[in-house]
Structure 1
């Protein structure tokens, strides 16, 4: 998986998590809220993981 695809995945996870968190909070659905929070957390971890896993960190 290329670096661009990883950053795109992180963006999609974070962008889709916000409406899910909002829906879960307003409707009182704990499962939707927790899933959105997990997606937000996972999307936030992708960029540092890409940075630390790079063979040459200065090239990114």
Structure 2
């Protein structure tokens, strides 16, 4: 998995988390809210993980 696909995954997770959080909060579905929050958390952790895990600092 290259750097661009990891950033794309992070963007997709963060973009899909917002409707899940909104639906879970407005409909009172705690599972949807929790899954959306977890997706937001993981999507936010991917870019720093890519940055710190890069073997070559110039590759980013």
TM-score normalised by the chain length of structure 2: 0.96
Measured against aligned partners, the alpha-carbon deviations of 1:15-57 in whole angstroms (never above 9, x if no partner) come to: 0000000000000000000000000000000000000000122
TM-score normalised by the chain length of structure 1: 0.96
Show the counterpart of 1:42.
42
Please, which runs of 5 or more residues in structure 2 have no aligned partner?
Answer: none
What is the number of equivalent residue pairs in this alignment? 60
Which 4+ runs in 1 deviate beyond 3 A? Answer: none
Show the counterpart of 1:31.
31
Please, which runs of 5 or more residues in structure 1 have no aligned partner?
Answer: none
